[in-house]
Chains A and B, each alone.
Chain A
Amino acid sequence: MGSLKNRDIISIKDLEPDEILEVIHETKNMKKNIKGNTKLLEGYILATAFFEPSTRTKLSFQSAMCRLGGSVIDLPPEKASSRAKGENLADTIRMLQCYSDIIVIRHKIEGTAKFASEIADIPIINGGDGTKDHPTQTLIDLYTIYENFGKLTNLTVGVLGDLKYGRAARSFILGISKFSPRELYLISPEQLKVRKDVKEFLERENVRYEELRDFSMVLPRLDILYVTRIQRERFPDPLEYERVRGSYRIVKDSLKEAKDNLIILHPLPRVDEINFSVDKTKYARYFEQAANGVPVRMALLKMILVG
């Protein structure tokens, strides 16, 4: 244990399978006694620097730090901070590292977390950068799968949605691929197919995958259906978004052919791709998944800050 101590978490690609499993085991411990670790990070300060909107990631990091007895400072919105005076990202990070022990950063500009990690001497966690990486979301996804199946390997996985612009979907595909899925189905409208670099990664990892337009044919084989929303804010052309809007939608009746132990995951927020009628089915796990954000991030903060 302790291999993540002082590490930056920039991309799920940087984590080895055994390191991911370490996070999962630490999460299990945290979850067993979520209110019982209030001294672990006493005296430590987490800075959250979110340059893009967030509900779950920011609040669950803050909650995780509070649960461990640490404190939180938050970079104010642009108008209320020195960024309004033209302060650049590099100087903002330099200041934040003077005031804290670890920084979580989210930015629409790709590579921001990597750049911040070169500027800062303290650990940086990527809370999402553009269309590229969202490693802590993937750790939550993988933990939720582990909780349900007791393993991560040899599962049949479908990923449905915006595989081109969605960083949660992209990171999930990269993450699950480290655990030899039995089959991996990448299901999306033609315009939102997964990017070439992800396919090359799958080929390097010897993962069998298939690209599909519709999930109904493979549904009876799936252990996991991972759904994401169409990332409207990342389309360069609003017309392109209009063409694919609402092009996939899961309702309760779409799941008649599903395996008994299928689980449906979604990083949230959702728009209309999972109908509310699915929420009360035995398959829905996305609210549990969101709740796992706190113990997973507790585990991560603990492992990075004190080993």
Chain B
Amino acid sequence: MSEKRLLVSKIKDGTVIDHIDSGRALYVLRILGITGREKFTIAVVMNVNSKRMGKKDIVKLEKMELKKEQVDKIALIAPSATINIVRDYRVVKKYNVEVPPIIEGLIRCINPNCITNQEHEPIRSIFYVKSLRPLILVCKYCGEEIHHEDIINQLIGVKTV
């Protein structure tokens, strides 16, 4: 990422979420529970040019580091995203998000007739990854498939981890 070409300056300490599929930066903020009323700086850059992706979004979060569950959720929204941990203006760690092979409890099965949607049963939803691009998950219990748009729609309905 060349900072010279960006409209937003570097952050001192925090996290830069880069290579978000263009148009999904606001979803990322939503699933992280960021409302804009936080005390720290939040920068959102959308639809910038990217060699790898054509267009991409970037989110910068001053003084914030992500928990694993949050990174897993970002992976489900934007599977190409990269996470950069910044300390004193320098990237000290950089990694790609990864869709976990087993996704437990983060999303609901879309089949209303699935055992995981029954009240009063001690059960959490479990999905396996059927395809990464496009992202398709399969319910362990009823075998129903859930596609990327449905996954995103569900996750952005969830306020925070």
Contact = CB atoms under 8 A, between A and B. Distances in A.
Interface of A: 86, 88-90, 108-112, 114-115, 130-132, 196-197
A263 to B, nearest CB: 30
Contact of A110 (B111, B120, B145): B111
A109 B140 contact: no
A110 B115 contact: yes
Interface in B111-161: 111, 113-116, 118, 120-123, 139-145
Contacts of B140: 111, 114
Nearest to B144: A110
Contact of A88 (B114, B121, B144): B121
Interface in B61-102: none
A219 B115 CA distance: 39
B113 A108 contact: yes
A197 B143 contact: yes
Given A114-B140, A132-B143, A109 B122 contact: no
A15 to B, nearest CB: 16
13 contacts: A88-B122, A110-B111, A110-B114, A110-B115, A110-B141, A111-B139, A111-B140, A115-B115, A115-B141, A130-B113, A130-B142, A131-B113, A197-B143
- Closest 8 interchain pairs by CB? A111-B141, A110-B142, A111-B115, A111-B142, A88-B120, A115-B115, A114-B141, A112-B115
A89 B116 CA distance: 12
A130 B121 CA distance: 17
B22 to A, nearest CB: 29
Contacts of A197: 143, 145
Given A132-B142, A197-B145, A115 B121 contact: yes
B105 to A, nearest CB: 15
Contacts of B120: 86, 88
Contacts of A196: 145
Size bin of chain B's contact surface: 10 to 19
A201 to B, nearest CB: 10
Most chain B C-beta atoms within 10 Å of own C-beta, residue among A90, A115, A132: A115
B144 to A, nearest CB: 8
A111 B122 CA distance: 14
Nearest to A114: B141
Interface of B: 111, 113-116, 118, 120-123, 139-145
Contacts of B113: 108-110, 130-131
B104 to A, nearest CB: 13
Contact of A89 (B111, B121, B141, B145): B121
A109 B144 CA distance: 13
A112 B141 CA distance: 8
A17 to B, nearest CB: 21
Given A110-B141, A132-B142, A197-B143, 4 more contacts: A88-B121, A88-B122, A111-B139, A130-B142
Contact of B123 (A86, A115, A130): A115
Given A86-B120, A88-B121, A90-B121, A109 B145 contact: no
Contacts of B143: 110-111, 132, 197
Most chain A C-beta atoms within 10 Å of own C-beta, residue among B116, B139, B140, B143: B143
Nearest to A197: B143
A234 to B, nearest CB: 9
Contacts of A88: 120-122
Contacts of A86: 120
A303 B141 CA distance: 25
A196 B111 CA distance: 15
A114 B128 CA distance: 15
Contacts of B114: 109-111
A204 to B, nearest CB: 12
Contacts of A89: 115, 118, 121
Nearest to B111: A110
A197 to B, nearest CB: 6
B139 to A, nearest CB: 7
B145 A114 contact: no
Contacts of B145: 196-197
Nearest to B120: A88
